[in-house]
Amino acid sequence: MSDENKDLASQDTAAERRAAQPGRPAVEAKRVHKAFGDLHVLKGIDMKVMPGTVTVILGPSGSGKSTFLRLINQLETLTGGEIDVNGEMIGYKRLADGTLQTLNDKEVAAQRAKLGMVFQKFNLFPHMTALENVMEAPVHVKRMPKAQARELAAKELTRVGLGDRLDYYPSQLSGGQQQRVAIARALAMKPEIMLFDEPTSALDPELVGEVLGVMRQLADEGMTMIVVTHEIGFAKEVADQVVFMDGGVVVESGGPGIIDDPKEPRFKDFLQHVL
Amino acid sequence: MPHHVEPDGEGLPIPNRISAKPVRRTGSIVAAVVVAILAAMLVKGLVTNPRFEWNIVWKYLFNERVLEGVGYTLLLTVISMVVAIVLAVILAIMRKSVNPVLRGVSWFYIWFFRGTPVYTQLVFWGLFAVLIPRLSIGIPLTSVEFWSVDSQTVITAFNAAWIGLALNEAAYLAEIVRAGLEAVDPGQAEAAQALGMKRSMIMRRVILPQAMRIIIPPTGNETIGMLKTTSLVLAVPFTLELQYATNAIANRIYKPIPLLIVASIWYLLITSILMVIQSMLEKHFGKGFEARPVGTKGKQPPLPGKTEGEPKDDVDKTNEAAFLGYNA
Ligand SMILES: Nc1ncnc2c1ncn2[C@@H]1O[C@H](COP(=O)(O)OP(=O)(O)OP(=O)(O)O)[C@@H](O)[C@H]1O
Ligand SMILES: [Mg+2]
């Protein structure tokens, strides 16, 4: 309960901070296409995500939401178009003669370091404790000394409310706790942008709240977030931008107000089914 | 680590705690007695039977040549298994590579070494120095040569023996390793990638440690199999290992049975040690997998890093934590 009060208190300052962010988008998708073999999944997605804002992507199953997030994090390769993160094209660099050169592993890893990702199935490392999960990347990717990484990991875990679960293995934690460890693990790399792919879909209903609570707190702190979710309440409350995708295209987008006042029949239809 | 058995929720304020005698199991007691009697009869029959000539068994159990044989058998087993495991991991990773040449080489290796008898391979390695008298490093198809050596000095009988065993074993182990790698959820690699880890690091830190859980039991089997396969190195011929040594003594003194028993005792002893090592490895790589979530059915596993001195403390914390968890 005290947590909630804290959230409310910090909310207007975060909102102000967001409103004050002008200029360059944190993520910009330009006519993005993706095909798996003959299956044309994304058919020209345009999207701008400003720094410090929360974008919620809604859409029916199979509309390509996960695919879009995975493209931003280079877990899939683009078929057409371009994605920029902080103004820098991802996955390729443009050579002097205008042709594209695929980036090597190291360059891709460097670009990924700016992005944190949280998966529907948590994907925690089961052979490591919560603390070790969170320490892993700082120690082995950033070469941070172990003692310092341990301190950082404990701090991140405390931040998501798991300060007393440091030495638990994922299999000893509830789904909601596991997902919060996964969020802490991503945060420990100090990403500028967080991507969430249906972070609460694999959870029992009573555990959804604790994960959304952590995400809300992150949004209030001014983290740039792209969230794929079916939690309409969360979208209304936290989103600065709502994007509705269907059939591989953006059907409707705008402020959170569009949820209460949808224009497109397909969006109306979708909302009726979800609510 | 001693197994600390402790009733659930010890130290919690549970006024109506149940204390009951366990289920009576008369049937299993009877069965145990019957089996024990049968076992005792068997042991007595073996020990008192004069035809087994236990005095000779005892005399040769610690014979110098026998002990040397035990040493070589162990050495051959360990070297060839270590080399085979390293090779197998490389082969399995090559098999899953994006590079078709590497995939092809790995496939061919496994096809060839699994497809021919290990005995034949050992004979070949024994003849290596005859077939290929000099080993050299240079530019292929030219006469440029940076370094060369007589095969005979490199491929000694002992080296031929472990090379032959290891190369053959690697082909089998590679398939075991591959199955282990494939059993790891692809989401694991994705999560690691998303954290900025590079491919080799993901393999080393995330995939392999989890695959080990699946790889170890069949590899234990293979190791114990290898212990006995070492007796085939007489094909090289290498004649100092246990089976050959006891055989030689048996032929000399015309007492085959007691010396077979000598060899069996040593093989059993080594197998037992290997089994202990296997179970320790299984425990190590099973960390995080055997555990059940707090508050589910069954006993809570001992907490990692917990010392014996503070169990109560931890239980209290656990409860508090569960409480907070639902509020957050
Ligand atoms: N690796 C792949 N190979 C082939 N097809 C794929 C692959 N990944 C996704 N697809 C296909 O792309 C389409 C979009 O999938 P995606 O997972 O992006 O949908 P989604 O909007 O996230 O759906 P959901 O709400 O069910 O998660 C689906 O038809 C799916 O079958
Ligand atoms: Mg999805």
For A201-241, the pLDDT digits (tens) are 999 998 999 999 999 999 999 999 999 999 999 999 999 99
Total domains in the fold of chain B: 1
Q: What pLDDT does A4 receive?
A: 42
Size of interface A-B (CB pairs under 8 A): 113
Among A115, A52, A67, A62, CA closest to A241: A52
**Which of A19-28, A74-83, B285-294 holds the top average pLDDT?**
A74-83
Share of chain A above pLDDT 90, in %: 84
pLDDT tens, A109-122? 889 989 999 999 99
Q: Is residue B234 part of a domain?
A: yes
Region A70-98 average pLDDT:
93
In a domain, A13, yes or no: no
CATH number reported for the structural domain that contains residue A163 in this entry = 3.40.50.300
What pLDDT digit, counting tens, does each position of A44-63 carry? 999 999 999 999 999 999 99
- Nearest by CB to residue B288, choosing from A128, A141, A214, is A128
Query: Ligand 2 centroid to A61 CA: how many Å?
Result: 7
The reported pLDDT for the residue numbered A71 is: 96
| CATH classification at residue B120 | 1.10.3720.10
Residue A15 domain-assigned? no
Residue B300 pLDDT exceeds 60: no
In a domain, A91, yes or no: yes
Could you tell me if residue A18 is inside a domain? no
pLDDT category, B7, cuts 50, 70, 90? Answer: low
| Cβ contact A123–B190 (<8 Å) | yes
Structural domain contains residue A4: no
User: Residue B296: pLDDT above 50?
Assistant: no
How many domains does chain A contain in total?
Answer: 1
Nearest to B249 by CA among B262, B237, B238: B262
- A:19-38 residues touching chain B, CB 8 A cutoff: none
What secondary structure does DSSP assign to B266-295, as a single string?
Answer: HHHHHHHHHHHHHHHHHHHHTTTTS---TT
- In which domain, by residue range, is B204 found? 65-140+147-245+264-290
Instruction: Measure the CA angle with vertex B136, ends B130 and B138; round to 5°.
Output: 150
CB contact at 8 A, A97 and A105: no
Q: How far apart are the first and last CA of chain B?
A: 35
Question: So what's the pLDDT on residue A274?
Answer: 81
The mean of the pLDDT values for chain B is 84
Q: Is residue B114 part of a domain?
A: yes
Q: How far apart are CA A188 and CA A112, in angstroms?
A: 14
C-beta atoms of A169 and B287 within 8 A? yes
Question: Residue A18's pLDDT band (boundaries 50, 70, 90)?
Answer: low
pLDDT value of position A123? 96
Cα–Cα distance measured from residue B236 to residue A84, given in angstroms and rounded to the nearest whole number: 63
B8 within a domain of the structure (yes/no): no
Residue B303 lies inside a defined structural domain of this protein: no
Q: Is residue B254 part of a domain?
A: no
The model's pLDDT over B189-219, given as tens digits with 9 standing for 90+, comes to 999 999 999 889 999 999 999 999 999 999 9
User: Measured in angstroms, how far is the CA atom of residue B304 from the centroid of ligand 2?
Assistant: 35
Report pLDDT for B16: 82
Rounded to 10 degrees, the C-alpha dihedral B28/B30/B35/B36 comes to: 110
Name the DSSP class of B203.
I
Residues of A in contact with B304 (CB under 8 A): 129, 167-169
Rounded Cα distance between A228 and A243, Å, is: 10
Residue bearing the CA closest to ligand 1, atom 1: A36
Q: How many CB atoms lie within 10 A of CB B20?
A: 5
B152 in any annotated domain: yes
Rounded CA-CA distance B95/B102 in Å is: 7
Query: Does B49 map to a domain?
Result: no
Tens digits of per-residue pLDDT, B36-60?
A: 999 999 999 888 888 888 999 999 9
% of chain B residues with pLDDT over 70: 86
Q: What is the pLDDT averaged over residues B58-74?
A: 93
The three state secondary structure string of chain A is CHHHHHHHHHHHHHHHHHHCCCCCCCEEEEEEEEEECCEEEEEEEEEEECCCCEEEEECCCCCCHHHHHHHHCCCCCCCEEEEEECCEECCEEECCCCCEEECCHHHHHHHHCCEEEECCCCCCCCCCCHHHHHHHHHHHCCCCCHHHHHHHHHHHHHHCCCCCCCCCCHHHCCHHHHHHHHHHHHHCCCCCEEEEECCCCCCCHHHHHHHHHHHHHHHHCCCEEEEECCCHHHHHHHCCEEEEEECCEEEEEECHHHHCCCCCHHHHHHHHHHC
